[in-house]
Amino acid sequence: MSDFFSSGWSIFIAAVTVVSLLACLGLLIIASKRKVMANDNTTGHVWDEDLRELNNPLPRWWMYLFVITVVFAAVYLALYPGLGSFQGTAGWSSAEQYQRERARLEASMAPVYAKFASLPAEELARDPQAMEIGQRLFLNNCAQCHGSDGRGSLGFPNLTDNEWQWGGSHEQIVETITNGRNGVMPPMAAAVGSSEDVRNVAHYVMSLSGTAHNPVFAQLGQPKFVVCAACHGADGKGNQAVGAPDLTNNVWLHGWGEAAIVRAITNGINNVMPAQARLLTPEQIHVLGAYVWGLSNPTRVAGQ
C-alpha cells in the first residue's frame, strides 16, 4: 500500500474486501433457501426437442465448500496482510521471509565462496565450479541488459571485447558491479554552435575511427571538437576516469553514423547501470567479476 498517497485507499480496499465476503455469505444463504419448483422444475429452455434445462438448487456439499472458502478467506485476512494496510496478527511479511531465506542460502553457500575469496581473477576464470556459479549470477542479474552471451546491444555495452568505458581490470569490474555507473553526456549542441557545426563535429568524430565521412565537413568540425575534448581528450581516445568513451575505436554504443552522433550531441546521453551491492554479497561480486573479466580475456583464461 506504500504506492498510495492517502490512507483512504487502504480503508476503501479493506471495506470492499469485507463487503465482498459478506455478500458471498448472503448469496449462499439466499441460495440455500431455494426449493425445488412444484411444477416440472425447468426454466422453459428446450434444445434438441427433449433436452430441458432444470432449475435445481445447489447441492448441499457444494454449498458447504463455498462456506468453507469464505471462512478460510476471513481467517487468512485476520492472520496475514490483505486488508488494506493491515499487516495481520501473525506478524508475517514477504520482506522478512525473503531476508530469512536469503540469509539461509548465503550461510549454506559461505564455505563455497570462502575458497574463492582469495583467488585472483585468472585462477577463478579457470575454475569450472567458480565459472558455473559466475555464469548463473550473470544470467540472473546481468543478462537482461548485456544479453546471455554478454555481447550487449544498442545502449548496453559488449562485455566480450576489450573496450571498457570504465576500465576492464577485475578490480574495476568489481567496482562497477558494486557501485554501479552513471555515464552522462550533457547536451552540447549549444556549446558547439549552429546545426551545421554539430553536423561537422559529427563527421570529425567519424573520421577519428576511420569510418566513412565527409572530409570537408570533418575539417570544419575539428576546431569545434575542442568542446568535446574536455572529456574525450584532444585525440578522442576518451577518459576512463570519467567514463568518457574512446571515439577512435569504431565501437558505437549508441549507434553509428551522422544522425546518431548528431542526436547524441544535441540531446545528450544518460546511461545508468544500477549498483548490485544491494542484491549481491561481496563474495558473489568477486566471482561474478571474474566471470565478466573472463568474457573479454579468453586467451588468458586458456593460458595462452
Q: Are residues 226 and 123 part of one domain?
A: no
Residue 16 has pLDDT above 60, yes or no: yes
Q: List the domain range (segments joined by +) for residue 207.
A: 185-269
- Whether residue 249 is contained in a domain is answered as yes
Same domain, 265 and 218: yes
Last residue of a domain, one of 60, 79, 98: 79
In terms of domains, do 136 and 278 share one?
yes
For residue 97, is it within any domain?
Answer: no
C-alpha–C-alpha distance, residues 156 and 294, integer Å: 18
DSSP code string of 232-247:
H-TTS--BTTTTBPPS
* Rounded-to-integer distance, Cα 168 and Cα 3, Å: 39
Residue that is last in its domain, among 61, 79, 97: 79
The total number of structural domains in the chain stands at 3
Residue-wise pLDDT for 104-139, tens only, equals 988 988 898 998 998 999 999 999 999 999 999 999
Q: Using a pLDDT cut of 70, give the percent of the chain over it.
A: 95
Residue 191 and residue 261 in one domain: yes
Q: Is the pLDDT of residue 269 over 90?
A: yes
Q: Indicate if the pLDDT at residue 237 is higher than 90.
A: yes
CB 284: neighbour CB atoms within 10 A? 20
CA–CA distance, 263 with 255 (Å, rounded to integer): 10
Structure confidence at residue 3 as a pLDDT band (50, 70, 90):
low
Distance between CA 23 and CA 70 in Å, rounded? Answer: 10
pLDDT at 194 over 90: yes
**Whether residues 189 and 265 fall in one domain:** yes
For residue 187, what pLDDT is reported?
95
Same domain, 279 and 151: yes
Is the pLDDT confidence value at 8 over 70? yes
Q: Is residue 113 part of a domain?
A: no
pLDDT digits (tens, 9 = 90+) for 19-70: 999 999 898 888 777 766 666 677 778 888 878 887 777 788 888 899 999 9
**pLDDT value for 1:** 46
Residue 192 is predicted with a pLDDT of 94
- Does residue 165 fall inside a structural domain? yes
**169 and 129 in one domain?**
yes
User: How much is the pLDDT for 244?
Assistant: 93
Picking from 182, 216, 184, the residue whose alpha carbon sits closest to that of residue 199 is 216
Q: What digits encode the pLDDT tens for the residues 195-230?
A: 999 999 999 999 999 999 999 999 999 999 999 999
Q: Mean pLDDT of all residues in the chain?
A: 90
User: CA-CA distance, 46 to 303, in Å (whole number)?
Assistant: 83
291: in domain: yes
What's residue 219's pLDDT? 96
162 lies in the same domain as 27: no
Same structural domain, 31 and 174: no
Position 87 in a domain: no
Residue 16 falls inside a structural domain: yes
Among 11-15, 29-33, 148-152, the range of highest mean pLDDT: 148-152
- Please tell me whether residues 281 and 162 are part of one structural domain: yes
Same domain, 213 and 150: no
- Alpha carbons 290 and 121: distance in angstroms, whole number: 5
Q: Is the pLDDT of residue 158 over 80?
A: yes
Whether residue 137 is found in the same domain as residue 286: yes
Q: What would the DSSP string read from start to end of 112-161?
A: HHHTTTT--HHHHHT-HHHHHHHHHHHHHHTHHHH-TTS--BTTB--SSS
Residue 88 lies in a domain: no
User: What confidence score (pLDDT) does residue 39 get?
Assistant: 65
